[in-house]
Structure 1
Amino acid sequence: MKSSYIKGFFIFVAVVAALTLYVYTQITVRDLKDRQARSVTLWQKSLESAAKDKTGSEDLSLILEVVSNVDFPIIVTDTNMEPLPNFHRNVSMDSVLSDSAKLVLLKKIVREMDDANPPVRVSYKGLIQQYVHFGDSQLVRFLRLAPFVASGAVAVFVLIAYLSFSYIKRNEESSIWVGMSKETAHQLGTPISSLMGWLELLKSSSDNPERQAQIMFEMQADILRLNRVATRFSKIGSKTTVADEDVIALVEYVFNYYRQRIPQMGKNIELKVKESADIIVPINRELMEWVLENITKNAIDAIERGRGSISAEITEDAGFAYIDITDTGKGIEPRNRKDIFRPGFSTKARGWGLGLSLAKRIVEDYHKGKLFIKDTSIGKGTTFRIKLRKNL
């Protein structure tokens, strides 16, 4: 996935989360303010009811008791907007303040309340007797800020997630570059070293034409190998062409290549391809050969006892061809199975962690197939399955 898509995804998540929080908190704030308005109306009705019996401000404790459950600040003033003594609720004031200082503070709070909410008039016989001023509860004030706090938290989370993703991506890219460099050196090193050896033999065989002909034949084989390596690397990252190939013959070709080299590794491993009718699949031969080499080499390395077998079974159905490569090696630890195809991951002391990840990319990105662990058992072996489309 392109990094620009990742950035867009993180931004989209942040925006959706912020909008969701904002809408939710605004709905909650609206419901709480409606509740406050109903409580203020109750104050108003209580005061108007009290005014029918007594128009003064005495003995107001009954009204306070009626609405004792309100959780937001309320101040009652007379018609001149002067706060009535002891007729306020949920308004915090320092007890050491003088009465005049408390009055000044109450007037200031009244102005702030009126800026947020219009005062409610208390009338008696058509005349305004008092005003009820009210503010927002602590919960409402908190919820007003919550979207901004939550959006900031979401932004920080998204930023951390993006930075973590970028860090992992850079590490994987670094592992790929290092692995590609080592793979290139390995792929080129073997035929180049061989050519250097043949060149020395050629110099010492100037008087033996038959020997020279044999050496030149081997040099030609190594040059073809170099050309094949160059072709493989040139196809990575570019649009590849496919052609119908017999995958059974291709597997046999790769196995035969390793049959000639396994004795030099000090191992006794039998490589066999189960007989079957020809199975034709559209593939890029050079790249698929590389995939099979990587899986086979991985299977050879997994057989640590020096003796074992590697078998390939090729089957097909209406839409797909399946290549199952099974070894009798050590198997894959459960904790490593999810990382086995990750670039840079290797259980070998000198492993590069590129072979299987490169093979998976070739199969899945270039051939629209699948490469996965079909079965593995500690001490018994592993089966890798390549699933290829019969029609691309």
Structure 2
Amino acid sequence: MNFSPKPQYARWFIIISSLVITTLIVWNILLFFDQIKDSERSKMEVYAAAQRAIAETAEIIPKNKNARQLEESLSNLYLLILSENNTIPILTYNPEEETYNPVNIPNSDALTQEELAAMASEFALTNQPLDIVWDGVKLNTIYYGNSSIIGQLKYFPIALLVIVVLFIALIYFYYLTSKSSAQNLLWAGMAKETAHQIGTPLSSLVGWTEILKTEDVNPDYIKEMTKDIDRLETITDRFSKIGSVPDLKEVDIIMETKSAFDYLENRSSK
């Protein structure tokens, strides 16, 4: 039998490699998740900067002879920025009017200001609000939530954790199976060795019984010894077959059932 430690090294190499690969996958997914959040934060900062720029130029426009053209340019810029953001839900709070202006929020027309305020509080827990300040005065506060992409991905870490747990359980099951297989090989080897060791004195006993048959010995004694030898031969044959490939052959199922019944009937309790 092979008791080399190489199979154990290979098993531990597979386990450690699997854990390292799983850790790298989780780490890259977390990096991807953070990149999405940083990208959305950058979009919202641009969105806030556009509103701040409009507020800053509000006083310049009336004094400019090209006020109409400048106002149209700023409006086009603002609309361009809005068109680039069609996934992030936004609530713009006006402290003077104490109102919330929703953007990219489904069925926002049916929501009351109290419901929008509660939604803004939830957004504040998710992402830090952005204040639009001009000349030391807070003009607006932008509350924004996660986009639909992040909303779809928020359950992904849980699913990934379940997959990792199942993967570790699979590795552990593989380890137990490999260990059990090694133990089974050990028991099979011991059984074959036991059958071999029993066979040596058993052959000698068969020879002695043949000698006793030629002597003046009670035949009943020889008959009982022969029964014990046959029983030992059956046990030896069974031990030698442990771990071997079964030799399948067709038999009469009725006769085999009757034989098993007779065997159990003589040995079962009345």
TM-score, length of structure 1 as denominator length:
0.42
Q: Which of 28, 52, 58 does residue 53 from structure 1 map onto?
A: 58
1:66 aligns with 2:81: yes
Match of 1:200 in 2: 209
- Rounded Cα–Cα distance in structure 1 between residues aligned with 2:39 and 2:171: 40
- Rounded Cα–Cα distance in structure 2 between residues aligned with 1:128 and 1:31: 29
CA contact under 8 A between 1:121 and 1:128: conserved in structure 2?
Answer: yes
Amino acid at match of 1:190: G
Taking only aligned residues, the RMSD between alpha carbons, in angstroms, comes to 4.2
Deviation of the 1:22 alpha carbon: 4.1
Amino acid at match of 2:45: T
Deviation of the 1:94 alpha carbon: 6.8
Q: What SS is found at the alignment partner of 2:139?
A: strand
Match of 2:43 in 1: 39
Bigger share in helix: 2
Q: Which of 93, 116, 126 does residue 77 from structure 1 map onto?
A: 93
- Rounded Cα–Cα distance in structure 2 between residues aligned with 1:163 and 1:25: 27
Amino acid at match of 1:43: Y
Q: What SS is found at the alignment partner of 1:104?
A: helix
Q: Deviations over 1:149-180 (max 9, x none)?
A: 31221111221332244245435534642453
Gaps in structure 2 of 5+ consecutive residues: 62-71, 216-241, 250-270
Q: What SS is found at the alignment partner of 1:91?
A: coil
Match of 2:138 in 1: 128
Gaps in structure 1 of 5+ consecutive residues: 207-342, 351-392
How many residues matched? 205
CA contact under 8 A between 1:42 and 1:67: conserved in structure 2?
Answer: no
- Rounded Cα–Cα distance in structure 2 between residues aligned with 1:11 and 1:172: 18
CA contact under 8 A between 1:25 and 1:144: conserved in structure 2?
Answer: no
Q: What SS is found at the alignment partner of 1:53?
A: coil
- Rounded Cα–Cα distance in structure 1 between residues aligned with 2:45 and 2:179: 61
1:152 aligns with 2:168: no
How do 1:111-122 and structure 2 match up within 5 A?
111-122=121-132
Change (3 A) 1:204 1:346: closer
Q: Which of 235, 245, 256 does residue 346 from structure 1 map onto?
A: 245
Match of 2:102 in 1: 88
Match of 1:188 in 2: 197
Deviation of the 1:77 alpha carbon: 0.9
Change (3 A) 1:15 1:25: same
Deviation of the 1:103 alpha carbon: 1.7
Match of 2:264 in 1: none
Bigger share in strand: 1
- Rounded Cα–Cα distance in structure 2 between residues aligned with 1:64 and 1:83: 21
Q: What SS is found at the alignment partner of 2:93?
A: strand
Q: Which has the higher contact order (CA 8 A, sep 6+)?
A: 2
Deviation of the 1:6 alpha carbon: 9.4
- Rounded Cα–Cα distance in structure 2 between residues aligned with 1:152 and 1:14: 15
- Rounded Cα–Cα distance in structure 1 between residues aligned with 2:158 and 2:17: 16
Q: What SS is found at the alignment partner of 2:162?
A: helix
CA contact under 8 A between 2:48 and 2:132: conserved in structure 1?
Answer: yes
Match of 1:106 in 2: 116
- Rounded Cα–Cα distance in structure 1 between residues aligned with 2:210 and 2:22: 74
Change (3 A) 1:142 1:37: same
- Rounded Cα–Cα distance in structure 1 between residues aligned with 2:113 and 2:132: 21
CA contact under 8 A between 1:21 and 1:150: conserved in structure 2?
Answer: no
Deviation of the 1:137 alpha carbon: 2.0
CA contact under 8 A between 2:102 and 2:108: conserved in structure 1?
Answer: no
Amino acid at match of 1:79: P
Deviation of the 1:127 alpha carbon: 2.5
Deviation of the 1:39 alpha carbon: 1.1
TM-score, length of structure 2 as denominator length:
0.58
CA contact under 8 A between 1:26 and 1:144: conserved in structure 2?
Answer: no
Deviation of the 1:108 alpha carbon: 0.9
Amino acid at match of 1:151: L
Q: What SS is found at the alignment partner of 1:67?
A: helix
CA contact under 8 A between 2:15 and 2:171: conserved in structure 1?
Answer: no
